[in-house]
Each structure stands twice: as structure tokens, then as C-alpha cells.
Amino acid sequence: MTETVTHTRPTAEEAALLLHALCEWVGREAGVRVLAIKGPVVAIQGLRAPRSSADIDVLVHPEELRAFADRMRALGWYDAVEPSGPRLIAAHSANLLHDHWPLGIDVHHYFPGFLADPGTVFDRLWDRRVEVELAGVPVPACDPVGQVAVVALHLLRSHPDGRSPVLEDLRDRTLQTLSPAQLEELVELAVDTESAWPLRPFLLELGCGLDDPEKPTDAAALAAWNTATLAVEAEGWLRLLAEAPARRWPRIVWHAVMLTDEELLAHHQLTRDEANLRRLRWQRLRRGLAAVPPAALKLIRERRSG
Amino acid sequence: MTGSDDAVWSHAPDLAVVDSPERVVLLNLRRPAEPARILLGTAAEIWRTIDGERAQREVVERMASSYGVGPAEVLSDVVSFCVDLEHDGLLINRSLDARGTAEVGPSPGPGARHG
């Protein structure tokens, strides 16, 4: 009469809730503060419509990342295949996978766009935390103010001018959810975490922008943010080429087109198969060739303008 | 098979539970390396009927009533389900606790909550 299943995995929606509870438990066991960011908490806080994603996101203090990730690895979690191409934004998370689970866990040790010291940023967000019940377990999560900053920075990476339907949706929901006092706290948080410049387009949309936000202490970090958010497709590879001696160009171009088998298959979530690999490389070559002219033009203009 | 008519089953502490109309998904946080357990149909119903107060006899009667059969027809299924989940640390037989041999009550978890 009874039917239980252990060979089927939970759905993505179920897994997201359970994995946040798991991270909270494991974090507490390892003495690590684990803060739930993005994901189902955002929907619970009314800042976005519910939807499933490919992973859950948690933020830990940079000094506590190793302890947490090692504990997760001891439980059978393993690192996803790392992208081998050039990065315009420095690695900011460990992406962990497990065969029992349909979702990965992105363990962030900093969040791009917060340009202050990552430990300071974590402490500021942790101090503001709230407990949200996920799968029946109270989980420490970013409060709505911190969450708006995190989600806005995430979206601004793809839409740096602040204009996109997803950012408009976040703006509308933020104005419905946050009180005027909380909007002021959002600006204060942006200043404290040196994210006022990256967040500026969104803050202006909210009507609470700073006229002339203070530049981040780390000017290089702001420059890197601007480069990454304004990048066009294939720009990372062209920048790598531009910085490398000519003798290394053939190797870089070869790698840009071919990548590694593991990376290609993992990115497309396909099993190892020669036909799959040939097809993916052909698609990649076509897309790359189409992307090179606009990227090259952008770099040339950038160099001419100094 | 254990579990007398007077046995009182309760959900174990330290579970993460997602209960939807179609099924119940359980993760035993004390065994975090184990996969989630998915309960479908009558298994999910038995899980929901167990509340830490009802004796096993009452759980059997409720299940029999909801399926329009006699208690004898569902007894062994209910008992084997409960014993199976007890084995996986998902249910606790509280009548054993009365004799001082089972672990009950909320757990403080792996450590004090973060201050």
C-alpha cells in the first residue's frame, strides 16, 4: 500500500528549500555563518515571482569558505568543472554538485559589485540577517534590504544601465516591499559596502540615488566591475589575446574554440559523446566568429579613447 | 516487526520537510549525506496522520477509514512503513521512550545558533 521513493531526486523547487536547510545545518555544525541569498527567499520576501533555478546561493565569510566547502565535500559534494577561459569577474564562489541532488550550491565568499573588503561586506549583511523558514527549518537569510542590493547587483551585471524588464520588476517590488526608512537603509548599505557606484543606476530608478557617490577605495575593483559589466561576447578572449605575446596567440585561439571536453559537456549538461563534442565545437566556432568583430571594434575604440 | 497498537509514533527532530499536495519530501539533517526520502500517496498520508499524539491503532483506523477497508488490511503496511522510517531516523517510537530507550524531543542541533 505505501509508496516511498529513494531513487528519484527531489524537484528543483523542493531541492532549493531542502538544500538551504542542509547548508544551515552543516554551517552550524562546522561553526560557519551561512547566509541564504537570492533563490526562494527572494520570492518569499516578495521581491520576485517564484521560479526555479539551477542552483542555490549562499554567502559565507571568506575566512570560513574552506571550512564550509570541505565539510560539504566530506558529505559527497564535489566541485563543478571550472571554466578554463578568461574571467572578467574574479572567481567569487565554489560551485558544488552532488549526484543525489538536481541543484548545485553556489557558495559565495564575496558577491560581485560589493567593492568593499569581502569580510566587511559579509559582516554587514550578516548583521542585518533575518530568519526565514525553509522546509520547516529557520534559515539565516539576507534581510529584504540586503537582498535587494544582492539581487540588483546580480542583475546589473547583465544590464549595467539598469534598464531591463527584470530590473524594472525588482524596482516595482522593492518600492512595494521596502518602507521609506528601509530605502534609506539601502543607500546606507550601498555606501558601507562600497556598492553605491555599481548600484547607482538601480538606486536612481528607485528615486533614492546618491548625487555623487564616493568612489570605492579600490579603484581597480570599480574598473574591473565596469569592464565586466560592459563586456560584449568574446571580449574576455580578445583581452587575453591583446595582453599575451604573439607567440601564444595560436594556443589561446585554439583553446577559445575547443575548450576542454569536460567544460563543454558540463556547460551543456551532456554526456560524453564524440558527436556531441563535434556539434558543440562547431556551434561555438560559429558563435565566436560572429562575436569577434563587435568585440574587436569595442576594444579598438577603448584604446583610441585612452 | 515492532510497533504495538499502543505505540505512539512521532516525526524525528532535525528533519527538513517539504509537504506538497502530491508528496512529502524528507531530509534527515542528522544524516546529511543521505538522499532525500520521497513519500507518495498513502505513505505521505500516513506521515501526515502521525502527529506524536495518536496511538498506532488510531493511525491504522484513520487510514482504513479513508480507504474504506478494514483495519486489518492496512495494519501491516502502516507498521512496516513506520518501522522502515524509524530505521532511517525519520520516525521515533515514543512508546519506547516511555521505557527510556528511544531518543525523543527537540534536538539542540549541531551547535548553538549563531548569535
The ipTM assigned to this model is 0.85
Angle at A287 between CA A285 and CA A292, to 5 degrees: 90
Q: What is the CA radius of gyration of chain A?
A: 21
**A116: distance to nearest CA of chain B, Å?**
24
How confident is residue A282, by pLDDT bands cut at 50, 70 and 90? confident
- Identity of the amino acid at A121: V
pLDDT in tens, A94-153: 999 999 999 999 999 999 999 999 999 999 999 999 999 999 999 999 999 999 999 999
DSSP 8-state code for residue A305: T
d(CA B52, CA A289): 65
Contact at CB, B43 and A2, closer than 8 angstroms:
yes
A2 contacts on B by Cβ (under 8 Å): 41-43, 46, 77-78, 80-81
Torsional class of B41: left (φ above 0), alpha (ψ -120 to 50), beta (otherwise): left
Task: Quote the pLDDT of residue B19.
Answer: 97
- Cβ pair A6:B35 closer than 8 A: yes
How big is the CA angle at A86 (ends A82 and A87), to the nearest 5 degrees?
Answer: 75
Chain B residues close to A9, C-beta within 8 Å: 35-36
- Using an 8 Å Cβ cutoff, are A238 and A292 in contact? yes
Strands B37-40 and A3-5: antiparallel
How close, in Å, is residue B75 to chain A by CA atoms?
Answer: 10
A112: Cβ contacts below 8 Å, ≥ 6 apart: A89, A90, A92, A153, A157, A225, A228
C-alpha cell at A40: 526562494
Residue A42 has pLDDT above 80, yes or no: yes
Looking at residues A43-64, what average pLDDT do you find?
Answer: 93
Residue A159 CA to residue A166 CA, distance in Å, equals 9
**pLDDT > 90: percent of chain A:** 55
Distance CA A126, CA A142 (A): 7
Residues from chain B contacting residue A1 (CB–CB below 8 Å): 42, 74, 77
Rounded distance between C-alpha atoms, residue B93 and residue B4, angstroms: 10
Q: Given CB atoms, is A1 within the 8 Å cutoff of chain B?
A: yes
- Cα dihedral A144, A145, A151, A157, rounded to 10, equals 180
* Interface residue A25 vs chain B (CB under 8 A): yes
Mean pLDDT in residue range A268-276? 72
Residue that the C-alpha cell 559565495 belongs to: A108
Evaluate if residue A60 carries a pLDDT over 90.
yes
CA–CA separation, A103 vs A105, rounded Å?
7
B87 in A contact zone (CB under 8 Å): no
Of B19, B105, B23, B35, the C-alpha closest to A22 is B35
Q: Which residues of A touch B27 (CB under 8 A)?
A: 18, 21-22, 135
CA distances from A293 to A98, A231, A289, A302 (A): 40, 13, 8, 14
Of the ranges A97-101, A209-213, A253-257, B100-104, the best mean pLDDT one: A97-101
Interface with A, mutate which of B18, B47, B62, B113 (most A CBs under 10 A): B18
B48 in Cβ contact with B66 (< 8 Å): no
Residue A101: CA atoms inside 13 Å, Cβ hemisphere, count? 27
Count how many Cα atoms sit within 13 Å of the Cα of residue A48 in the half-sphere of its side chain: 23
Tens-place pLDDT, residues B55-109: 999 999 999 999 999 999 999 999 999 999 999 999 999 876 555 544 444 455 6
Could you tell me the three cell numbers for A209? 540615488
Task: Give the residue from chain A lying closest to B18, CA to CA.
Answer: A135
A102 vs A54: CA distance, rounded Å: 8
Model confidence band, residue A249 (pLDDT cutoffs 50, 70, 90): low
* Alpha carbon distance A153, A125 (integer Å): 14
| CA A146 – CA A191 distance, rounded (Å) | 12
What does the pLDDT read at residue A278?
79
Compute the mean pLDDT over every residue in chain A, rounded to the nearest whole number.
85
pLDDT, average across residues A180-202: 94
Q: Is the pLDDT of residue A279 over 90?
A: no
By percentage, how much of chain A surpasses pLDDT 70? 82
Is the pLDDT score of A231 beyond 50? yes
**Chain A contact present for B37, CB below 8 A:** yes
Which residues of chain A does B15 touch, with a Cβ-Cβ cutoff of 8 Å? 136
At A233, list the grid cell: 561576447
Q: What is the arithmetic mean of pLDDT over A63-92? A: 84
Judged by CB atoms closer than 8 Å, whether chains meet at A2 and B81 is answered as: yes
- DSSP secondary structure code for residue B8 in this structure: B
* Separation of alpha carbons A37 and A112, rounded Å: 13
Q: Decide if pLDDT at A269 tops 70.
A: no
Residues written for chain B:
115
Q: To the nearest whole angstrom, how far is the Cα of B22 from the nearest Cα of chain A?
A: 12
Closest chain A residue by Cα to residue B81: A2
The neighbouring-strand residues paired with A139 are A132
Q: Please state, in angstroms and rounded to a whole number, the distance separating the CA atoms of residues A124 and A192.
A: 8
A276 SS3 class: helix
Report the chain B residue with the minimal C-alpha distance to residue A20.
B16
Q: Kindly indicate the confidence band of residue B111, based on its pLDDT and cuts at 50, 70 and 90.
A: low
Q: In B32-101, which residue ranges form alpha helices assigned H by DSSP?
A: 41-49, 56-67, 71-87, 94-98
Lowest mean pLDDT among A7-11, A86-90, B41-45: A86-90
